Amino acid sequence: MADEFEPKIVAFLCKWCSSAGSDLAGVSRMQYPPNVIPITVMCSGSMSPLYILSAFKKGADGVLVSGCHPGDCHYIKGNYYARRRIALVKKLLEFIGLEPQRFQMSWVSAAEGTKYTQIIKEFVDELKPIGPQTKLRRSS
């Protein structure tokens, strides 16, 4: 079992909600797969597509962008902008043939520790069967 593929997931978590949600999961000792490399961003609206593509280039098998539910955004409309931008990035990545499961977005509020662990579990389970991401990864 040891050499089973363990996907590496880079998660961009909005500081006000999702990052707090993941902290809540940690504080309440919830069990969830350790494949996540969390990066806190000030708002999902500040997510530049470049971060996502750069993560895939550096070898991420999956990328998650998680922000506040619509209406909860600390900056009022950051997550609304993010919703459009991430939808476009997702469509473009599918257009060039990247597996759609590799790039996810979620709303996780500061109180949704369990939802956060649930999303990560599902994400890891979806990534395991499709193996490591070799398409955008920098090889030579």
Partner 1 sequence: MVSLEELKKEAQMLLEEGKVKYIVGYERSTNGLMPVPAFIKNPEDVERLVWDPSCIYNLTRFLVDEKRRKEKEKKPDTRPVGIVVKGCDSRAVVVLLQEKFINREDVFILGVSCENTGVVDEKKLAEKLKGKKADKIEFSDKDHFVITSNSEKIKIPAQEILAERCLECRASFPVISDVLLGEKVERRPDEPFKSVQKIESLSKEERWAFWKEQLDKCIRCYACRSVCPMCYCDECVVDTISFAVTADTAAEEKAQKIKWIEKSPDSSENFVYHLVRAIHLAGRCIDCGECERACPLDIPVRLLNKKLEKEAKELFDYDVGFDPEKPSLVSSFKDEDPEDFIR
110: Cβ contacts below 8 Å, ≥ 6 apart: 16, 17, 20, 21, 24
Q: Could you give the dihedral angle defined by the CA atoms of residues 37, 55, 67 and 44, in that order, rounded to the nearest 10 degrees? A: 140
Pick the binder of partner 1 from 6, 33, 80, 128 (CB under 8 A): 80
Q: C-beta of 27: minimal distance to partner 1 in Å?
A: 22
Q: Is 106 helix (H, G, I), strand (E, B) or coil?
A: strand
Q: Are the C-beta atoms of residues 100 and 2 closer than 8 Å to each other?
A: no
Among 106, 113, 124, 127, binds partner 1 (CB under 8 A): 106
**79 to 2, 10, 13, 36: CA distances (angstroms):** 39, 19, 12, 22
Per-residue contact string for residues 26-65; x = within reach of partner 1 by CB under 8 A: -----------------------xx--xx--x--------
Applying CB under 8 A, which of residues 8, 85, 121, 128 lies at the interface with partner 1? 85
Q: How many of the other CB atoms lie within 10 Å of CB of 50?
A: 9
CB closer to partner 1, 1 vs 112: 112
**25, 41, 89, 124: which one binds partner 1 (CB under 8 A):** 89
Q: Interface with partner 1 by CB under 8 A: which residues? A: 49-50, 53-54, 57, 70, 77, 80-81, 83-85, 87-99, 104-107, 119, 122, 135-140
